[in-house]
Copies of this chain bind each other. A is one copy, B any other.
């Protein structure tokens, strides 16, 4: 029996054609034809106010930290169960990170605990829509608005997923915070190897975002004919990706609906196949709150113990199936542990110890998924 990879980059077949086209346009540095196509795609499909492609989701988060003008000593509330960049992007600007716990039913930030973490120095709440499943955005916006805090969505995993507000209106993830960051890393639904995007929902950030993106210059204004030469007007970095990356990405975006349909079918198949077994074994499967949708980004189980989880990884591996754990809790990291003074974060630690991600990619067949599920059920 063949191996089943945890992830495989999926190609639409047009990626290199568009790269060749970008090259033939004699413009392969950033902010060209394909960059604009990608940005327009998101602005029109999801009604995002303004989008800027970046070299990574990390870089989009760094842009957010600069835009909200983080100063040394400012506090930013971040879930502990996330990738290091969610915190590092703000630390690079001098922020103190206040780690929050996850809920006990999914790895998203526990809104009930946020209020206690807000202090006079708090500047922003960063939420991570884990597995593309929405955090409780109205609660978070309410908490933030009351205290005049920024909300940043780390939407790395959350492309094409939605939050239904109390009026039943479905809002795309990435459109609810003041700013949002997406990832197109090769492990995501839509990929460009490395890559990301900043979404600017709060229009007051638009002009400065463009400047920071272009290394702190007003080059974009210059090309629109608004100024007669461009120069240094702000801090900034080279956040914009090559057109090679944007061309690749655009080929992917054209197939977004096909990719999403397939991934969601795989996700549903896992859920149906494992439901009965999981309930019997007290194993947690992804829970979708009423307000959230699933985007087929990742399927996980939360086992009953770390030992059982690790045992299952090995059993699957023995059968040629690759499954992987996820984040190390950041408050317990080598970098942060000695300075962490907050309360225990037991749910974050639980997901660190017990969460397991199963293979999920476009080229997985229904037989593959059945085989993974069967192997899991037989291993236990």
Interface size on A, residues (CB 8 A): 63
Interface residues of A in 85-103 (CB under 8 A from B): 85, 87-89, 91-92, 94
Tell whether A56 pairs with B238 under 8 Å between CB atoms, given A9-B26, A29-B193, A193-B29. yes
Main secondary structure of the interface of A (DSSP, over half): loop
Q: Mark A45-60, 1 if CB is under 8 A from B, else 0.
A: 0000000000111110
Question: A191 contacts which of B28, B192, B336 (Cβ < 8 Å)?
Answer: B28
| Contact of A296 with B by CB under 8 A | no
Question: A335 contacts which of B89, B191, B216 (Cβ < 8 Å)?
Answer: B216
Interface residues of A in 43-80 (CB under 8 A from B): 55-59, 62, 72
User: Within 8 Å CB of A234, what residues of B?
Assistant: 335
| Contact of A84 with B by CB under 8 A | yes
| Contact of A177 with B by CB under 8 A | no
Least CB distance, A124 to chain B, in whole angstroms: 18
Q: Mark A1-42, 1 if CB is under 8 A from B, else 0.
A: 000010011010001100110010011111000000000000
In the assembly, how many copies of this chain are there? 2
User: Within 8 Å CB of A187, what residues of B?
Assistant: 29
Residues of A within 8 A of B (CB): 5, 8-9, 11, 15-16, 19-20, 23, 26-30, 55-59, 62, 72, 83-85, 87-89, 91-92, 94, 185-187, 191-195, 215-217, 229, 231-238, 240-245, 248, 328, 330, 333-336
CB<8 Å pairs between A and B, sample of 29:
A5-B26, A9-B26, A11-B23, A16-B23, A29-B194, A55-B194, A55-B241, A57-B238, A58-B215, A58-B237, A58-B238, A62-B237, A83-B215, A84-B217, A85-B237, A88-B235, A89-B237, A92-B235, A94-B94, A192-B242, A192-B244, A194-B240, A194-B242, A216-B335, A229-B328, A232-B336, A233-B334, A233-B335, A245-B245
